[in-house]
A and B are shown apart, each in its own frame.
Chain A
Amino acid sequence: MISGTEGVTVILSIAQMQALQGGRVVACHGGYGFMRRLDAMGIRPGVTIKKIVAQPFRGPSVIRVCGTQVAIGFGMAQRILVEVDE
């Protein structure tokens, strides 16, 4: 890391994250139903997640959240923003 960028937060969508990157969810964008579905699985702002599998060609992502693994389609994964750990 270049000196001077320390402390700068990197925010990526789950779809953009690399496999094995972890972080804290900062925002989810979508309608009421979408937010409820995420919430029921424990995906909500403030929660820490870890991406386990990244699939190429706009495939689904797999993350670990609340002790379970969850697969998320590409379109949905694009709408969940994560502040990535350094």
Chain B
Amino acid sequence: MSRVVLVGNPNVGKSAIFSRLTGAMVIAANYPGSTVEYTQGSFSHEGENWDIIDIPGTYSLDGISPAEAVADDVIRRAELIINVVDATSLERNLRLTLQLAETGHPLMVALNLWDEATTKGVQIDVAQLERLLGVPVVPVCGLSGEGIPTLLQRLHDAQPLNINVAPDTHWQQVGEIVDQVQQLSHRHPTLLERLETWSLVPWTGIPLALLVMGVAFELVRFLGEGLIRWGLDPLFTYLWMPIMRKLFQWLDGIPLLQSLLIGQLIDGHIDFTQSMGLLTTGLYVPLVMVLPYVLAFYLMLGILEDTGYLPRLGILMDTVMHRVGLHGLTVIPMLLGLGCNVPGALATRIFETRRQRFVAAVLMAICVPCMGQTAMMVALLGPYGWVGLLPVAGTLLVLWVVLALVFKWMSREPAPELFLEIPPYRMPSGRALAQKLWLRMRQFIAEAVPFVLLGVLLVSLLHSLRILDGLAHLAAPMLRTLLGLPEEAVVALIMGLFRKDLAVGMLVPLQLTREQLIVASVVLATYFPCIATFSVLLREFGGKGMLKASVLMIGVSLLVGSILHLVL
């Protein structure tokens, strides 16, 4: 099997082409750095099997940043390189092509975004480019799949670049090639291009950002609430509940199974939020209370990602972010973290230094509640209206700023500078959006449901073995004195290690007051990441880094919880 590597500048559409070739679904987005991990796949063409690797985009092979050094290593071991080139920005992209020539591997060029180049008035003489480079050049459109069959047919024509490259004259050589193959025709900026500028100029950009965020928030709320009220809750109440009642009667002689599967009766009835059975609470929390919001959130995030709005928001925020020692792009991991902290933590790889990555990851893990947790907090505190939810959101936001300032104050490094290519606005493709949403929902269900079930199982075990009473007793001084919470809240704290949404759900039977719910929500959000996020952080920052982060999390959480308890 031959090993093919997709190489190109960031955001030229490598992942879309990868997805087209392999049929595998990968998450692509319209901003540089959306692929942070290597994706491996395979495809076969005319009975031949190929291994293919999609690597994060790189501007050069100088190998300055660690990510580039690794990319360099993968490229070195490739047998065939498909160099994905953005046709709208030929000059900058071809420089990498020349650098690839030095590897000596067989190469072919996929001229992506061909359609966009045409509408932008960029005309490229493909035959001439092919002659000059001496390798196959195939115009493609990764999103629609146009040109992919030709790309496959010509795989065997790939060969080392037919150019003598002198190390310091790359740009000059690129210039000579571009002069011979490219023609630019002038035309007036389109509405979309005007909008690009408007969204970066503060006077128009800030109102636009507020509008976008407001609409996004309302969309998530409207869709999430609607799906619960008109879809999933009735489904569970009218279809699942009768089955559960039957099952409960049927299991009458086997109390162990009864309490494990259905749980405890609350006031003589099965209660989906409180009964704590595998088939009741274990399914209701992830599928009815959380899934609709996760779905709505990822739909909205997908649109923001694919239009190219996210990096613009980052640039707009840069001035403010700089004051707290971060750069504007920090909004990307934070926004992803609102969905799930795991992709949020991975997205910190877009930053160059380890310190930047660490600070962003810790800020996210402490202050950004994932959608599951948010959905449950909305369910619990929503009935109080804004006086319920605003204190939680406000506390987390203030804490974020304070922590960022503390990090800035502790560091001698100057605040990092923003330096980033801004993608053009693009109309999101419905197919790509649907694919990405499906992929993320599948990940959510595969990760959330087992952990919630495990958590529910653990709680019933702890209950029946009477271990909880002991733990509650131990935690009582901390919970009661510092945070003003009943000692039974220890169950929620333990559960928070598995799934934050379930942990918030564990507060339901405790009949807490509004003040107690606020304290508990904030403590649960901040004190420790769930097991999935923890393992990612551990992998990214090692044992020592994670230890530092853990001490910080627990300390901050107790401190903030105590302050809230005193203030409220």
Contact = CB atoms under 8 A, between A and B. Distances in A.
A66 B60 contact: no
A73 B414 CA distance: 12
A24 interface: no
Interface in B130-166: none
Contacts, number: 96
A71 to B, nearest CB: 5
A22 to B, nearest CB: 14
A44 B200 CA distance: 24
B46 to A, nearest CB: 36
Contact of B64 (A19, A33, A52): A33
Given A71-B418, A72-B418, A52 B60 contact: no
Interface residues of A, number: 29
A70 B417 CA distance: 13
Contact of B328 (A36, A42, A58, A60): A60
B322 A42 contact: no
B448 interface: no
B90 interface: yes
Given A41-B59, A73-B417, A59 B92 contact: no
Nearest to A70: B421
B303 to A, nearest CB: 21
A71 B319 contact: no
Contact of B88 (A52, A53, A67): A67
Interface residues of B, number: 33
A41 B33 CA distance: 15
A14 to B, nearest CB: 12
Given A62-B315, A68-B89, A55 B202 contact: yes
A59 B319 contact: yes
Interface in B191-247: 196-197, 200-202
B91 interface: yes
Nearest to A69: B422
Contacts of A67: 88-92, 122
Contacts of B60: 36, 39-40
Interface of B: 59-60, 62, 64, 88-92, 95, 122, 171, 196-197, 200-202, 311, 315, 318-319, 322, 327-328, 414, 416-422, 424
Interface of A: 19, 33, 36-37, 39-42, 44, 52-53, 55-60, 62, 66-76
Given A37-B64, A67-B92, A70-B421, 19 more contacts: A19-B201, A36-B60, A39-B171, A41-B421, A57-B319, A58-B322, A59-B319, A60-B315, A60-B318, A60-B319, A62-B422, A66-B91, A67-B88, A67-B89, A70-B419, A70-B422, A71-B418, A71-B422, A73-B417
